[in-house]
Amino acid sequence: MALGPKYRILRELGRGSYGVVYEALAKSGVRVAVKKLPCDSPVNSELALQEFWALSRVRKRHPNVIWLDECILQRGRTMQKMSRGSLESDSHLQLVETCLKGKCCFEPQSSHCLWFVMEFCDGGDLNDYLLSRALDCGLNLHFMQQLSAAVAFLHLSAIVHRDLKPDNILVASSPAGPVLKVADFGLSKCQSKGSVSQWQVSEACGSDFYMAPELWEGQYSNKVDIFALGIIFWAMMERLTFREAESAKELLGVYLSRGRHLVPVGKALMENPSLELAIPMNSKRSLSKGIQKLLQDMLAYNPRERPDAFSLRAQIEQVIFTGARLRM
């Protein structure tokens, strides 16, 4: 299977609700990941455009954010490379909106889609990587540094991810060790003007077990990404997991039990803002006082009480520094 003259698709890597990811070989011999997002409905078209807007906004590379090499618009048998120029004036973006949101896009058997050519990550996602290995506290702290740096970079670029979860964090090998890459920006929001920390959004979206309380209520800011990171960090540090209902796959995540029902932490806090979270949840896995305090702050019901992405980075560095001194 080929994607134009430049890429030869080798195999399918994963399939989600909205698209498929393949491993491909570029004409240059470099392995790449290719994500196909069909645009056969208004919802799918909107997700494809969101991902294009977010990845196009990231003009500077960050080691912990997936890098878009190019985006290709397919209209039937025609392939059109999309420009990474200004989002406000780029004629290619206007072409995308016309083609994907126009009437022609929704005809039966339409083959309109966007292909995202991105860097290839050979370590799978964060779930697969961590759950196939023994618990490593040093690696956990290293990953916390990387993820906080990625979110700080995104917020500085006025991007709110809105769907941070282990499935959307990829792992790439490097001589210095595993490198995390935040990916999947289909539910992200980009801010064109003003401070992203003051930006209020009223559209509920995300994945239940990582959603902040205010996301359930539908009025929120970039602090929802901090809450999601708190859930990921907590699950990662204690290896807390649940089984996804549809696939029965084991996933990293935190929840509260009500009989046979698993209640996401954010939903439980929405229903009871005074709820005190039991951190650590697993008594066999002790957490330092610094980590416990950090998680409590990140998972605060009131988003104003959560650290922003920049102070979070500093707090994680302080926790690591303090822990290193205590071990000396």
Cα torsion angle, 32, 33, 39, 45, sign:
negative
Higher pLDDT, 219 or 238: 238
Dihedral (CA of 257, 145, 179, 119) sign: positive
163 is catalytic: yes
Give the confidence band of 88 by pLDDT, cuts at 50, 70, 90.
very low
User: Pick from 302, 194, 210: which is nearest to 252 by CA?
Assistant: 210
Contact (CB, 8 A) for 237 and 226:
no
pLDDT at 38: 86
Q: How confident is the model at residue 168 (pLDDT cuts 50, 70, 90)?
A: very high
Q: Residue 251: which of 150, 129, 121 has the closest Cα?
A: 129
Mean pLDDT for the stretch of residues 126-150: 95
150 Cα distance to chain centroid: 10
At 296, list the tokens. Answer: 């409590």
Which entry of 125, 163, 167, 225 is annotated as an active-site residue? Answer: 163
Q: Are 178 and 122 in contact (CB under 8 A)?
A: no
Q: In angstroms, rounded to a whole number, what is the distance separating the alpha carbons of residues 94 and 86?
A: 11
Is the model's pTM score more than 0.75?
yes
Instruction: Count CA within 13 A, CB hemisphere, residue 281.
Output: 20
Average pLDDT over residues 240-268: 88
- Categorize the per-residue pLDDT at 40 as very low, low, confident or very high, splitting at 50, 70 and 90: confident
Please give the pLDDT value at position 284: 66
Mean pLDDT of all residues in the chain?
Answer: 84
Confidence at 118, pLDDT banded by 50, 70, 90: very high
pLDDT of the residue at 56: 82
Kindly give, in sequence order, each residue whose CB lies less than 8 Å from that of residue 39, ignoring residues fewer than 6 positions away. Answer: 45, 48, 100, 105, 110, 112, 113, 114
Distance between CA atoms of residues 87 and 159, nearest Å = 14
More confident residue, 48 or 179: 179
**HSE value, Cβ hemisphere, 13 Å, CA-based, for 100:** 26
pLDDT band at 89; cut points 50, 70, 90: very low
| 173-212 confidence digits (pLDDT tens) | 999 999 999 999 988 888 764 444 544 554 556 688 999 9
Alpha helices in 110-206 (DSSP H): 126-131, 137-156
Confidence tier at 323 by pLDDT (50, 70, 90): low
Residue 159 CB partners (closer than 8 Å, separation 6+)? 54, 57, 58, 185, 188, 189, 190, 191, 196
Report the distance separating Cα 45 and Cα 41, nearest Å. Answer: 6
Q: Compute the distance between CA of residue 265 and CA of residue 32 in angstroms, rounded to an integer.
A: 36
Residue with tokens 């979270």: 277
Read off the pLDDT of residues 64-82 as tens digits, 9 standing for 90 and up: 999 998 888 887 778 888 7
Per the CB < 8 A criterion, the answer to whether 212 and 97 are in contact is no
In whole angstroms, how far apart are CA 215 and each of 148, 157, 198, 226, 308?
Answer: 20, 21, 15, 12, 17
Query: Is 94 or 82 the better-scoring residue by pLDDT?
Result: 82
Q: Which domains does the chain have, with CATH numbers?
A: 2-119 (3.30.200.20), 126-327 (1.10.510.10)
- Please check whether residue 304 is in contact with residue 220, taking contact to mean a CB–CB distance below 8 angstroms: no
> Which residue did the predictor score with more confidence, 143 or 54?
143
Burial 29-43 (b: 16+ CB within 10 A, else e): eeebbbbbbbbbeee
Q: What distance in Å separates the CA atoms of residue 70 and residue 199, rounded to the nearest whole number?
A: 29
